[in-house]
Amino acid sequence: MFPELRGERPRPVADMEFGLTKLGREMYDDASEIGPENEPDLPTAGYTYWGQFIDHDLTFDLTPLDNASDAVEQVRNFRTPFLDLDHLYGSGPGLSPFLYQKGFHDAERLLVGETTAGRCADLPRNREGIALVADPRQDENLIIAQLHVAFLQLHNLVVTRPQQLAASPYYLQQPNTFTAAQRLVKWHYQWLVRHDYLHEILDPEIFNLLGKLEAEKLALGDIEFRMPAEFTAAAFRFGHSMPRDLYSKGVNDFRKDVRLETLLSLTGPMGLTTAGEPANTRLPDEWVVSWDHFFLIPPRIAAVNRARKIDTQIAKALHHLDPDTVKLFNLSVGAGRHLAHPELPVRTLLRGFRMRLPSGEQVAERISAHFTCPRTLQASEIADNSPRGEILREPAYGLEQNTPLWYYVLKEAELLQSGWCLGPVGSVVIADVIISALAADPDSYLHASDWHPTLTDDDGRALTSMAKVLQWVSNASTTHSST
């Protein structure tokens, strides 16, 4: 994003990495410091995993941490840099036939798996319990896996609803029912990312500039677009601060007080086990998620879990990731070497350093030259009196006024927004990349003039939020078990 800016290394690399490792370890969630779980200004917990779903759609850098370097142009992205749901559809029925049901030529439906009770509500899985998905990370925790299932169900619903497909001429331009349904699902998802997800997580002042940004990006015409390292290795990892160690409202009306470790242990790579129980190859039925526990779905507003605040603390469970979880994200470079750092914050800080990302201060300075609104953080605010501030001030580590970009993004959210949404620097980086991804994709809804969601629920109400989409899918999937 800022190719002319390179992270500075004022101290020996080993000393700086030692300091970053200490800083990452110090970023644990001290429960006494977080606000009440259901503080109504916090995004609901669904936005955490929706963010992860978006991340997995845009970027997949398998470079082992040990090999991360500043040759960022050579990093291979195993996903397209577009919001095109390639992690859902794979390369389509022709090249990824294992994702699709047989017998629906030109109106293909996506495979949905069955739970232990035979309910169509799990990812499709092989005999080993490994998910049949285009991106293995979609089975990394229960909530993202269930969100993936909801999108499988959404496609399967619209492919069988001719009146929904006839609602916009843009769908009918497609050669067959499958691609018409795919475009409809994709455009709704893109519109929701722009109007619902970004509304929830961006600084409101930056959100209000999105229309202008869209016009600017569209005016660039055809461009070759890559995911910037500032986004993938730092800014969009802000979401690592949002998972909670404990979801007291649980995942449905039966499973309350659910721990993050449990969400991580209920998925394929971990053998679908729950503590002390034998491994399952299908999701135990009682773990199917009720979306009113993750998004505001009236009348059950009181059932919803909230996200953690966006700040410099990370849930304890993310400080000791299981090797099988880390393996989903990194190619192994030799027996066990991907295990070197099971702490997600340490991995993130070291990766950003090894990629020589610019510091938070460098990016803030560059951004404030273009936007009038942002207030940048003072050195004393970043390196405060906390143990983390002490590490940042330690001269041997060279981190003072050379703050890792990821840490800066979290700190400004903490200080300027009370953790309810991103601050200006994080917001500008994320807005720029997501709007660029939409504008650079010739098949995105931004290229269709004045397109708005056309999907409606069974009472004819437009599905203009993720909560409404999930409610519609859940209701329809309960009545039509084939979805």
* Residues in contact with ligand HEM by the rule CB under 6 A: 48, 51-52, 55, 59-61, 65, 140-141, 232, 236-237, 239-240, 242-243, 318, 321, 325-326, 329-330, 344, 347-348, 351
CB of 184 to ligand HEM, least distance (A): 25
- DSSP summary character for residue 246: E
CB of 337 to ligand HEM, least distance (A): 12
Q: Say whether 29 sits in a helix, a strand or coil.
A: coil
- Cβ distance to ligand HEM smaller for residue 119 or 195: 195
**Bridge partner residues of 246 (DSSP):** 259
- Cβ distance to ligand HEM smaller for residue 110 or 421: 421
Phi and psi angles of residue 54, each rounded to the nearest 5 degrees, phi first? -65, -45
CB of 130 to ligand HEM, least distance (A): 18
CA gap 475, 208 in Å, rounded: 34
CB of 410 to ligand HEM, least distance (A): 12
- Cβ distance to ligand HEM smaller for residue 119 or 226: 226
CB of 305 to ligand HEM, least distance (A): 14
Distances (CA, A) of 391 to 343, 358, 386, 412, 414: 17, 19, 9, 18, 18
Place of tokens 């779905």: 297
- Cβ distance to ligand HEM smaller for residue 331 or 379: 331
Phi and psi angles of residue 397, each rounded to the nearest 5 degrees, phi first? -95, -15
Say if CB 79 and CB 86 are below 8 A apart. yes
CA gap 319, 341 in Å, rounded: 9
CA gap 445, 155 in Å, rounded: 17
Query: Alpha carbon 69 to chain centroid distance?
Result: 24
- Cβ distance to ligand HEM smaller for residue 120 or 131: 131
CB of 386 to ligand HEM, least distance (A): 24
**Bridge partner residues of 28 (DSSP):** 314
How buried is residue 70: exposed, middle or buried, by Cβ count under 10 Å (0-12/13-18/19+)?
Answer: middle
- Cβ distance to ligand HEM smaller for residue 348 or 465: 348
CB of 280 to ligand HEM, least distance (A): 20
CA gap 390, 132 in Å, rounded: 46
CB of 103 to ligand HEM, least distance (A): 35
Strands 120-122, 246-247: pairing kind: unpaired
- Cβ distance to ligand HEM smaller for residue 141 or 182: 141
CA gap 451, 442 in Å, rounded: 14
Q: Say whether 61 sits in a helix, a strand or coil.
A: strand
- Cβ distance to ligand HEM smaller for residue 171 or 231: 231
CB of 146 to ligand HEM, least distance (A): 13
CA gap 175, 166 in Å, rounded: 14
Q: What residue number has its CB nearest to ligand HEM?
A: 239
- Cβ distance to ligand HEM smaller for residue 159 or 430: 430
